[in-house]
Amino acid sequence: MGRGRVDGEGPMGAAGRRHYLMCPPTFYTVAYEINPWMHADQATDTALAVRQWQRLREVYRDLGHTVETIDPLPGLPDMVYAANGALVVDGVVYSAKFRHPQRQPEGPAYQAWFDDRGYRTHTAQHVNEGEGDILVAGRTVLAGTGFRTTRAAHDELRALLTATSGADAPEVVGLELVDPRYYHLDTALTVLRDDEIAYHPDAFSPATQALLADRYPDAVEVGADDAAVLGLNAVSDGQHVVMTPAATRFADQLRERGYTPVPVATSELLKGGGGAKCCTLEIRPAP
């Protein structure tokens, strides 16, 4: 899959217009350590984080996407990682319920943003970290577990989607993460198109590796070097893949398949353990 794109398509081409929610890193810093990337004794440059974040938002808008923003809250330095704030699929919002107490107020903050705008929201009963661990690939929802999001949350989401979309509900597929550096699914797997993914196999348990190989035999397999710079924390609109410039081999693999890598530096946000995807929550369907 993923080949055979029509030559000469315009910049939007096969790509769809997307609707994203982002949170400016006004209060960004590394004040605690809840993943192996974070070192509270290492200095952070909030102004640089803001500039990198603004550039990321500008790139999305230049690509034709809509970007909304949520107001950051003081005392919540990780709120910039909007992907963790919720999962929005088929117009319903499944709220985040964070594992670590330091991030727990972010769940209600993001849910309130959606409530205020008239979205149908569901308050999660089980620990889940939104799109950080739950990625949508067409009518398949890939749901990570192992470090943050629980299997019970996968079940809760499955029930919610069935109640929302009945027989058309997407299938929820659980994937087990095993390497603490890849603590969220979106650090180890990128959805490129509805039917095509890229992932770093070693981040997953043997059973999950077998499951992914079976479902996605043509997936892009990303090597250790590109994974270790969070190359997979990327955002695809079906054509353009917004990603760290450091994942050079992955960018070549994408070009070989007809995608257009769009490098955006997120080095400052990497100190908290995130990249472009972490900063980007997709709202589906785009209104």
Q: Which residues are catalytic?
A: 184, 278
Instruction: Tell me whether residue 12 or residue 38 sits nearer to ligand ARG (CB atom).
Output: 38
Per rule CB under 6 A, is residue 278 in the interface with ligand ARG? Answer: yes
Instruction: Tell me whether residue 133 or residue 169 sits nearer to ligand ARG (CB atom).
Output: 133
Per rule CB under 6 A, is residue 204 in the interface with ligand ARG? Answer: no
Count of residues in contact with ligand ARG, rule CB under 6 A: 16
H/E stretch holding 255 reads helix 248-256
Count of alpha carbons within 13 Å of 168, Cβ hemisphere only? Answer: 5
* Strand partners for 113: none
Q: How far is the CB of 8 from ligand ARG (least distance, A)?
A: 35
Interface region with ligand ARG, contact rule CB under 6 A, candidates 42-50, 77-85, 190-198, 248-256: 77-85
Per rule CB under 6 A, is residue 78 in the interface with ligand ARG? Answer: yes
Q: How far is the CB of 38 from ligand ARG (least distance, A)?
A: 6
Q: How far is the CB of 49 from ligand ARG (least distance, A)?
A: 12
Whose structure tokens read 């629980």?
Answer: 150
Report the alpha-carbon distance of residue 130 to residue 85 in Å, rounded: 6
H/E stretch holding 116 reads helix 106-116
Per rule CB under 6 A, is residue 84 in the interface with ligand ARG? Answer: yes
According to CB under 6 A, which one of 23, 63, 83, 142 is a site residue for ligand ARG? Answer: 83
Q: State both tokens at 44.
A: 């952070």
Interface region with ligand ARG, contact rule CB under 6 A, candidates 49-57, 169-177, 181-189, 198-206: 181-189
Report the alpha-carbon distance of residue 265 to residue 210 in Å, rounded: 33
Per rule CB under 6 A, is residue 184 in the interface with ligand ARG? Answer: yes
**C-alpha closest to that of 123 among 160, 149, 155:** 160
At 135, which amino acid appears? L
Per rule CB under 6 A, is residue 140 in the interface with ligand ARG? Answer: no
Per rule CB under 6 A, is residue 34 in the interface with ligand ARG? Answer: yes
Per rule CB under 6 A, is residue 274 in the interface with ligand ARG? Answer: yes
Report the alpha-carbon distance of residue 280 to residue 24 in Å, rounded: 11
Report the alpha-carbon distance of residue 236 to residue 225 in Å, rounded: 20
Helices (H) and strands (E) in the chain, counts: 7, 15
Laid out side by side, the sheet with 171-176 consists of 134-137, 140-145, 171-176
H/E stretch holding 201 reads none
Q: How far is the CB of 148 from ligand ARG (least distance, A)?
A: 7
Q: How far is the CB of 187 from ligand ARG (least distance, A)?
A: 5
Q: Kindly list the residues in this chain that would bind ligand ARG in the complex (CB under 6 A).
A: 34-35, 38, 78, 81, 83-84, 103, 132, 184, 186-187, 272-274, 278
